Amino acid sequence: APNLKVEDLHVSIEEKEILKGFGIEVNGGEIHAIMGPNGTGKSTLASALMGHPKYEVTSGKASFNGEDLFEMEVDERARAGLFLAMQYPSEISGVTNADFIRSAINSGREEGDEISLMKFIRKMDEKMGTLDIDQSFQHRYLNEGFSGGEKKRNEILQLLMLEPKIAILDEIDSGLDIDALKVVAQGINDMRGEDFGCLIITHYQRLLNYITPDKVHVMMQGRIVKSGGPELAQKLEEQGYDWIKEELGIED
């Protein structure tokens, strides 16, 4: 089964340490949520795992299916089945959405095993139906003139089409109205299964009303300070983060 393991990770941006001993393990069949106040390093975690050059890993380890993640090229991580919504370019002129997704699927496959055009079109039609996405979407240029909500739906379309082993979704719910939120949640729920693990990074609890995570982690000051089940997200929604700070003696 797929496995993403992060151990005692320390990451700095411009000499400033942001991640201070972050650890997590996500297996196939599991959905984890990371919640935490703004500025606590959630996006830094996602960027560091995707290999963004600005984020310096100063110590600690990360592995994907047993392989050292930081030794893998960035595109190799994607080909091996690690999906990071943000690693996909925001706009590429002259490349349609369909072309982009098809080449991303094929880059993860052996030569001779590429997805046929027929199969691709059928799958794309089916997934766009699930996500309630307009047919014209596939012929539009990648993210060009997409609204915030369209970009999010498109990220989920990429997720459903690429069928990664582990997905890291950073603020996938930001700026979505309730209908789009349900659609995105349904897309993720459809992927649930032993061959898929997911790390949902979110500031708000509302997405978790539609996707029940197996584990919820609270991140503060660059590391996980508390873990629990779905009830932890509920408590955060009702009571905010202050009680955790008090409990752990954390000061702002």
Nearest to 27 by CA among 168, 165, 161, 213: 165
Which of 21, 37, 108, 149 forms a contact with Mg ion (CB under 5 A)? 21
- Residue 43 lies near Mg ion (rule: CB under 5 A): yes
For the CB of residue 94, give the shortest distance to ligand ADP in the complex, in Å: 28
- CA torsion through residues 183, 188, 191, 192, sign: negative
Question: Please, what is the Cα angle at 155 between 60 and 116, to 5 degrees?
Answer: 105
Among ligand ADP, Mg ion, none, what binds residue 183 when CB lies within 5 to 8 Å by partner kind? none
Q: With CB cut-offs between 5 and 8 Å by kind, which of ligand ADP, Mg ion, none does residue 18 bind? A: ligand ADP
Residue 164 engages ligand ADP in binding (rule: CB under 6 A): no
Asked if residue 12 binds Mg ion (CB under 5 A), the reply is: no
Q: How far is CA 188 from the centre of its chain?
A: 10
Q: Is 158 in the site for ligand ADP (CB under 6 A)?
A: no
Element (H, E) at 178: helix 178-191
* Rounded distance between C-alpha atoms, residue 72 and residue 67, angstroms: 8
154 touches ligand ADP (CB under 6 A)? no
21 binds, among ligand ADP, Mg ion, none (CB under 5 to 8 A by kind): Mg ion
Separation between Cα atoms, residue 171 and residue 217, nearest integer Å: 15
Find which of ligand ADP, Mg ion, none residue 202 binds, CB within 5 to 8 Å per kind.
none
Residue 108's φ and ψ, nearest 5 degrees, are -90, 5
3-class SS shares of the chain: helix, strand, coil, % to 5: 40, 30, 30
- Using DSSP's 3-state secondary structure scheme, residue 4 falls into strand
Residue 42 within binding range of Mg ion, rule CB under 5 A = yes
Question: Which of 238, 214, 237, 216 has the alpha carbon at shortest distance from 228?
Answer: 216
Q: How far is the CB of 86 from ligand ADP (least distance, A)?
A: 11
Q: Using the 8-state DSSP alphabet, how is residue 211 labeled?
A: S
Taking CB under 5 A as the binding criterion, the range among 38-46, 96-104, 116-124, 209-217 that sits at the site for Mg ion is 38-46
The answer to the question of residue 109 lying near ligand ADP (CB under 6 A) is no
- Which residue, 52 or 165, has its beta carbon nearer to ligand ADP? 52
174 makes contact with ligand ADP (CB under 6 A): no
> CB of 8: closest distance to ligand ADP in angstroms?
18
Query: What are the beta bridge partners of residue 17?
Result: 12
Considering beta carbons, is residue 143 or 202 the nearer one to ligand ADP? 202
Query: Interior CA angle at 107 toward 102 and 112, to 5°?
Result: 90
Interactions with ligand ADP, residue window 22-81 (CB under 6 A)? 36, 38-44, 54
Residues at the site binding Mg ion, with contacts judged by CB under 5 A = 8, 21, 42-43
Residues at the site binding ligand ADP, with contacts judged by CB under 6 A = 13-14, 18, 36, 38-44, 54
